[in-house]
Amino acid sequence: MPEPLLKIEHLGIEFHTRRGTLVAVDDISFDVLPGKVFGIVGESGAGKSLTGQAIIGLLEPPGRIGAGRIFLNDQRIDQLPYHQMRRIRGKKIGMIFQDPLTSLNPLYTVGKQLVETILTHSEMTPNQAHQHTIALLDEVGIPAAEKRIGHYPHQFSGGMRQRVVIALALCVSPSLIIADEPTTALDVSIQAQIIALLKGLCKEHDTAVILITHDMGVIAEISDRVAVMYAGRLVEVGEVRDIVKNPKHPYSQGLMGSIPSLHHKSEELTQIEGTMPGLMEIPPGCAFHPRCPHAFDRCRQRRPGLIDTKPSKVACWLFENEDRSGNT
């Protein structure tokens, strides 16, 4: 097993408000291996995007890291000063957001934005950066790249703009890309193309990806490992093939039930009853208990920790007797 590229240890994210401290991400730990796709999945409000923002040092105040540590290649990065973190964001961690216009400046041609990013973070000459930009645009599937390099973001369709953003994220060969809902704003027909592109390019460039999405179908398509989040907590983590085949946590089962497939007609898709609690309404015990069809007394009183059920880890009292971690 290779050394992890990224290590998250007991990360907590909190918001100080006049009504007290609200915990939005609560004691989560996971590793991301080099060149692999790690999915984080859950409904809106689960804490997925905040986790991504904490990793790249872009948490918006009053949000802050209240606990835990983040390591990139064994270097602790959660306490770095702003200018150092900015350098890491440019060179070692790339970003792809839901809306491509978050990453692209509407006032500059896409070529200028790519060339300037390459020049800032590499030793290339302007001519080399120009040629590299054309090659990258070509690689991400922009037709007539030599001509399109001089076009502005508004001259591209949504799908083509997201391809440009992928080129921008890859242009300095980062070891990690954080992709936050990269296909949610796109037409369904374009979504599959962008996912396939991201998957192929990251494999080719040996770039690890943290893929943040509410869509278990996208996770099943592209990820190697997955963490399922609910109300700021990790409820299941493991290899995608294991969790897709045999989701153990009742919330993971609910997410799996919402994926359309050849075997499910759309009317057979299941929905999880109820909604994710807000930060001020997280119930005691297992946060999922008000929505869980299997809840029993202990679920309402005590919070389950992650239980190593091999191959996945699950935070659910139903698996209490299946702990195979060797812990007693």
Alpha-helical (H) ranges within 171-264 are 188-205, 216-222, 240-245, 250-257
- Please report whether residue 87 would count as binding ligand SF4 according to CB under 6 A: no
Binder among 48, 163, 233, 289 for ligand SF4 (CB under 6 A): 289
Which neighbouring-strand residues pair with 105? none
Length of the chain in terms of residues written: 328
- Please report whether residue 288 would count as binding ligand SF4 according to CB under 6 A: yes
Question: Toward ligand SF4, which CB reaches closer, 57 or 247?
Answer: 247
- Residue among 263, 17, 9, 215 at smallest CA distance from 98: 215
Contacts to ligand SF4 from residues 238-277, by CB under 6 A: 249-250
100-103 long-range CB contacts below 8 Å, 24 or more apart? 100/153, 100/158, 100/161, 100/162, 100/164, 100/165, 100/185, 101/153, 101/161, 103/165, 103/168, 103/169
Question: Toward ligand SF4, which CB reaches closer, 75 or 275?
Answer: 275
- Residue among 180, 167, 149, 161 at smallest CA distance from 100: 161
Give least dist CB 210 to ligand SF4, A: 25
Is 115 in a helix, a strand, or coil? Answer: helix
Question: Toward ligand SF4, which CB reaches closer, 87 or 294?
Answer: 294
Binder among 129, 255, 299, 307 for ligand SF4 (CB under 6 A): 299
Q: What does the alpha-carbon distance between residue 155 and residue 161 come to, in Å, rounded to a whole number?
A: 9
- Please report whether residue 295 would count as binding ligand SF4 according to CB under 6 A: yes
Binding region for ligand SF4 (CB under 6 A) out of 81-89, 130-138, 145-153, 291-299: 291-299
- Please report whether residue 286 would count as binding ligand SF4 according to CB under 6 A: yes
Give least dist CB 108 to ligand SF4, A: 49
Please give the size of the binding site for ligand SF4, defined by CB under 6 A: 13
Residue 158 exposed, middle or buried by CB count within 10 Å (0-12, 13-18, 19+): middle
Binding region for ligand SF4 (CB under 6 A) out of 57-65, 103-111, 176-184, 285-293: 285-293
Place of tokens 């807000």: 278
Contacts to ligand SF4 by CB under 6 A = 249-250, 286, 288-289, 292, 294-295, 299, 304, 316-318
